[in-house]
Amino acid sequence: MWRWSAPHPDWKPEKGGPGGWEQRVGSLYYEAAEAVVLIDPLVPPAETSERDRFLASLDRDVTRAGRPVAILLANHYHVRSARELHERYRETPGASVWAHETGRGDGPVTHRFLEGRVLPGGLRAFSLTGLNPDEVAFYVPEHRAVVAADAILGAGGGKLRVAPASWAEAGEEGQSRYRDLLRGELRRLLDLPIDMVLVSHGESVLENGGAALAAALDAPAWGE
């Protein structure tokens, strides 16, 4: 299992700062027994040496593994490079794209799931409707790792923070769900054995992840 980061194409300086998000965002490669799992993959920008190096490395690993590629999306914002990679690997050894049942129809989604379904690689999905209806966190049992999209952010120094209310759906209904549901939904993850919390935004936590998540749930949200 390895994590990589790439610059987000929509990032602008005003996106940063308190309550904002990092210019580079993370994605995950996980080589399971029956599939190569890519979570929220983002390929580096076109016509860059970083892109060439990344795709060459990914091609080598996919070819060596000889297993179908399963692309898992943690929300509709993270379609990212799913279409490109689905096209790249759909013939040999084969590829699929998985998204939550409530996600939007855009993107090259081949399979829909709800919480409770066992996903490729044995992953489990936990719904986080307090942020967005299709937001999920994935759990990788083999590595005792939680993989978060937008609901949990890395604060550096082994610390995490919950996403701020500004990241939830606008309007009273969305903000009410954020206030009433999100932290409770995240707290369910504490029932799992967690060593690592791998985030899309910020610095991941590679040890004592359960304690870091518990501390985040008792702390102010990101930027507050």
* CATH number where 154 lies: 3.60.15.10
Q: Work out the pLDDT band at 3, boundaries 50, 70, 90.
A: very high
Q: Work out the pLDDT band at 2, boundaries 50, 70, 90.
A: very high
Residue 183 lies inside a defined structural domain of this protein: yes
CA distance 120 to 98: 9
Q: pTM for the complete prediction?
A: 0.94
Residues 35-74 have pLDDT tens digits of 999 999 999 999 899 999 999 999 999 999 999 999 999 9
Residue 27 lies inside a defined structural domain of this protein: yes
CA distance 100 to 104: 9
Respond yes or no on whether the N-terminal peptide bond of residue 93 is cis (omega within 30° of 0): yes
Residues 37 and 30 sit within 8 Å (Cβ to Cβ): yes
Q: Calculate the CA dihedral of residues 194, 42, 77, 96 and round it to 10 degrees.
A: -80
Query: How many domains does one find in the chain?
Result: 1
Residue 224 lies inside a defined structural domain of this protein: no
Residues sharing a CB contact under 8 Å with residue 66, sequence separation 6 or more, in sequence order: 93
CA distance 55 to 49: 10
Residue 145 lies inside a defined structural domain of this protein: yes
Residues 30 and 140 sit within 8 Å (Cβ to Cβ): yes
CA distance 72 to 1: 15
Residue 223 lies inside a defined structural domain of this protein: no
Domain of residue 199: give its range: 2-217
Residue 222 lies inside a defined structural domain of this protein: no
Residue 73 lies inside a defined structural domain of this protein: yes
Lowest mean pLDDT among 11-15, 41-45, 101-105: 11-15
Residue 21, pLDDT score: 66
Residue 105 lies inside a defined structural domain of this protein: yes
Q: Compute the radius of gyration of the chain from its Cα atoms.
A: 17
Residue 19, pLDDT score: 72
